[in-house]
């Protein structure tokens, strides 16, 4: 056994997949990697760690793991990892960039449609013995509406494909994707201000960075239509939740669908009490097939790194909206 790989004890991560893919290349052990202390204790002497999205891989943790050469995570986002600090210490950071494109895109459109059709109100009305279309009125036709996408990465592109099936026009804001590339997907590139002025509904897919934190704020809500739906399946901090609540209270938004939150889980959030907000527990990524693909992909990438090959999911520390 040449390498030592420590895999997080997490339901999303299948240690047996890593053992099968890595074979005799590495010894794979399972440990709790929930805290900095866990990472320091169980990562000591490890060549690679396979962490989960809550593992706090900070600069100080990396300083205490001088033998670490690879940090792998079976997710798209790696905002719990200090990627720049890892690069400075020659630690390769891996992620699973495309394992759940279908799932997240489907989840985003599902939240959008549930809000647009006011499904909660109608569902509850029937359960309460009411049989009246007025209880959820007014509704407006979704076909022909304009949906604005915040970010235009792989998930947002998949959402755009889904929306074309509903005869929607699609706009996107992403300063790192040019207009020609968007046009290939029949999507119009616009500024963020124009996006929020023209869109009937907004779907957020941006990662959480210094640039995107609080991007969807009170000013954005002021520009949106009063009956607009805002969906977030990207990262919680991109939408300012206090401003979102204020906009809903003021009748300046129609509804919201959130799969991600500023704090997860959102135990004390007043969003939980609102009937005009649809919530799910950061589950947009999930299907059994996606979970299997993620484990296979990350394990294969670890094998590539150990074999001196270029991995498919290497995180570029200089990529702004990776």
- The catalytic site residues sit at 235, 264, 282
Nearest 5°: phi and psi at 277? -125, 125
Nearest 5°: phi and psi at 231? -115, 135
Spatial neighbors of 259 by CB under 8 A, at least 6 apart, are 107, 108, 111, 232, 233, 279, 280, 281, 282, 283, 284
C-beta of residue 202 within 8 angstroms of C-beta of residue 173: no
CA atoms within 13 A on the CB side of 64: 14
DSSP readout, 183-194?
HHTT-EE--HHH
Which residues are registered as beta bridge partners of 48?
Answer: 5, 70
C-beta of residue 177 within 8 angstroms of C-beta of residue 291: no
Residue closest to 114 by CA, chosen among 241, 268, 223, 275: 275
Which residues are registered as beta bridge partners of 172?
Answer: 149, 189
- At 10 the three-state DSSP class reads coil
């Amino acid at each position: 056994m040449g390498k030592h790989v420590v895999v997080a004890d997490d339901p999303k991560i299948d240690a047996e997949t890593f053992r099968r893919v890595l074979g005799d290349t590495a010894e794979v052990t399972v440990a709790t990697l929930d805290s900095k202390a866990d990472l320091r204790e169980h990562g000591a002497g490890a060549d690679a760690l396979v962490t989960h999205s809550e593992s706090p891989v900070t600069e100080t943790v990396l300083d205490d793991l001088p033998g670490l050469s690879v940090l792998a995570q079976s997710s798209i986002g790696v905002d719990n990892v200090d990627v720049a600090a890892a690069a400075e210490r020659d630690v390769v950071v891996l992620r699973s960039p495309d394992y759940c494109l279908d799932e997240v895109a489907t989840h985003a459109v599902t939240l959008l449609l549930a809000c647009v059709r006011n499904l909660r109100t109608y569902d509850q009305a029937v359960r309460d013995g009411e049989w009246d279309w007025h209880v959820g009125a007014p509704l407006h036709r979704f076909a022909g509406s304009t949906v604005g996408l915040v970010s235009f990465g792989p998930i947002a592109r998949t959402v755009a494909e889904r929306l074309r099936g509903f005869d929607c026009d699609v706009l996107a804001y992403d300063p790192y994707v040019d207009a020609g590339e968007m046009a290939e997907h029949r999507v119009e590139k616009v500024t963020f201000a124009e996006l929020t002025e023209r869109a009937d509904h907004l779907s957020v897919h941006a990662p959480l960075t210094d640039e995107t934190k609080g991007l969807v704020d009170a000013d954005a809500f002021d520009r949106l239509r009063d009956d607009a739906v805002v969906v977030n399946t990207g990262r919680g901090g991109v939408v300012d939740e206090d401003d979102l609540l204020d906009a809903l209270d003021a009748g300046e938004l129609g509804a919201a669908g959130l799969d991600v939150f500023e704090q997860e889980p959102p135990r004390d959030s007043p969003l939980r009490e609102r009937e005009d907000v649809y919530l799910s527990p950061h589950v947009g990524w999930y299907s059994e097939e996606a979970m299997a693909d993620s484990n296979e992909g990350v394990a294969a990438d670890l094998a590539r790194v150990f074999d001196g090959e270029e991995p498919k999911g290497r995180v570029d520390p200089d990529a702004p909206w990776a």
